[in-house]
Structure 1
Amino acid sequence: MGSERRPGAELLAHYREATRGNQDTAPKVRRSAAHLLDAAHAQRTGRLERERAAREADERRRVEAAEAARADRLDHLTRNAEQTWGRGEALITQKKSTTYDRASALLDDLRAAHARTGDITAFEERAGRLREAHRGRPAFMRRFDEIGIPHPRERPARK
């Protein structure tokens, strides 16, 4: 092994010769630790800002998608209002907590659908009749209160 040529020294000499011309473009001033720390801070701050902007954009897209889905659902409810009212009443008659929750969510959506069409009075009248018909179900009445559907007698007089 001692008599074999080792290319390491020869390669190193070629490398030094090839890079000797590049030494003129190399920075003459060494960077300090403070400069390196400032550069690292700037890189980190930039990365965090890009990540924050990406999160905000994702959140904006998620909110817009949810709003579009809700608008589609409300449009569907508006087109099928009678069926939706019937489905709500069928849920109420099951006398279960989970179906009361679904019925109150459906009524809340119906209120929003009526509000979009400018016919909130029709909703209030129908919800009042529904509330009156099921006034013996306190668990359901609590859900009416939670979503803010007033009792017909508690509704302020219109001027």
Structure 2
Amino acid sequence: MSEYQYYEFVAVDRPLTAAQQRELRALSTRARITSSSFVNDYQWGDLKGDPREWMQRYFDAFLYLANWGTHRIALRLPAAVLDPGTAAEYCVGESACSWATRSHVIVDLHSEDEDGDEEYEGGGHLAAILPARAELAAGDRRLLYLAWLLCVQGRELDDDEPEPPVPAGLGDLSGPQAALVDFLRLDPDLLAVAAETSKPLKDATPSVASLSRWVKALPESEKDDLVLRLLRGDDAHLRSELLARFQGAAPNEGPGGRRTVGELLAAAGERWLRRQQLAREREAAERERRERAAAAARERHLNALAGRQEQEWQRVATMIETKRPKEYDVAVALLSDLKALAERDGETEAFLRRVRQLRELHARKPSLLDRLDRARLG
């Protein structure tokens, strides 16, 4: 297998300046660089830069894929909309880590598969996942919980480690979150078990009345400042910042800390076993259905053949006289049907006598006799 690596970086909140684009071009002559992105793939060599540093300096999202099984995605958000401590509460291992700069928080997620990727084109993955960043910025903590589950799946935590607060809606992920789950190859059984204590997302949607009460409680000076920021239009995350603050004041998470890592893994294993058993039962039921259908079709075929045995024996004789292999095959198939009909109707001896006569008549046709032997005729 040839080597393949795919790198994609995206700037969301602010476009790259001309100077920044020149800096990136100096590191890669063949990358596709625009004011909002850097995309390159490698079948030899590697990126001449550190993705971690690039995320701190230039970009808000990063996706990496290699055909030996490595998947990686990183998202950068302003610290005003994602508290570094909140990110650190969920990103607790090698598969999911986070770190903070003076102005931002970066969440970095990894997935490894030793079997590698059969299909490893990287284009399109980041576009499908990127809207999850806006959801996280607006206070939706499901992405962070998925990051924690990734560490659980990687066996990076002690069995007695309690789970963090469980956000609402784990059982009904958004499209971008589902794309992230697929890209990171998160165990569906583990996710399903984790979602059992997650309350429905609609129950966590803030009402107009609760938003109104929260807004009225804000100091007038702060409201003035927020309106001014809105009018200046220089804060891309103002709405997300306010929603995140509201969520912090009225958390929508379900009860946390009730289950441990070991309990989740055990429950996921039991769910996998139940799924396998159900799959085997469904397969057996489907096999039985197909067998019954085949038997019924066979019976209908034999019923249609009954009463026409002499005509069919004559057809067999005619086809054999052609001395063509394909006609031999059709003749043998017809004889097999006549045999089945004879066995059903208790006329096996009569059938065998006619087959012996047939074999004696065509004893100098080895190709035909070979076919008869393989069909157990005579």
TM-score, with length taken from structure 2: 0.34
Q: Which has the higher helix share?
A: 1
Structure 2: tracts of 5 or more residues without a match: 1-223, 231-237
Q: 2-side partners of 1:87 and 1:69: how far apart?
A: 22
The AA in structure 2 aligned to 1:130 is: L
In the alignment, structure 1 residue 126 sits paired with structure 2 residue 358: no
In the alignment, structure 1 residue 104 sits paired with structure 2 residue 329: no
Q: Select 1:75's aligned residue among 292, 303, 315.
A: 303
The AA in structure 1 aligned to 2:260 is: S
Secondary structure in 2 matching 1:2: helix
The equivalent residue for 1:146 is 374
Question: Closer, same or farther in 2 for the Cα pair 1:32/1:127, shift >3 Å?
Answer: same
CA-based RMSD of the aligned residues comes to 2.9
- Asked if the contact 1:78/1:114 (under 8 Å) is kept, the reply is no
Q: Considering Cα pairs closer than 8 Å and 6+ residues apart, tell me whether 1 or 2 has the greater RCO.
A: 1
The equivalent residue for 1:47 is 275
- Asked if the contact 1:92/1:100 (under 8 Å) is kept, the reply is yes
Q: Which has the higher strand share?
A: 2
Q: 2-side partners of 1:144 and 1:59: how far apart?
A: 30
Q: Select 1:36's aligned residue among 258, 264, 271.
A: 264
Question: Closer, same or farther in 2 for the Cα pair 1:147/1:14, shift >3 Å?
Answer: closer
Residue-by-residue CA offset, 1:56-89 (whole Å, 9 max, x unaligned): 1111111111111112112222232112112211
- Asked if the contact 1:108/1:147 (under 8 Å) is kept, the reply is yes
Q: 1-side partners of 2:248 and 2:258: how far apart?
A: 26
The equivalent residue for 1:137 is 365
The AA in structure 1 aligned to 2:250 is: R
In the alignment, structure 1 residue 87 sits paired with structure 2 residue 87: no
Once the two structures are aligned, what percentage of the paired residues are identical? Answer: 31
Structure 1: tracts of 5 or more residues without a match: 151-159
Q: 1-side partners of 2:226 and 2:376: how far apart?
A: 96
Q: What count of residue pairs does the alignment treat as equivalent?
A: 144
The equivalent residue for 1:153 is none
Question: Closer, same or farther in 2 for the Cα pair 1:143/1:15, shift >3 Å?
Answer: same
In the alignment, structure 1 residue 2 sits paired with structure 2 residue 230: no
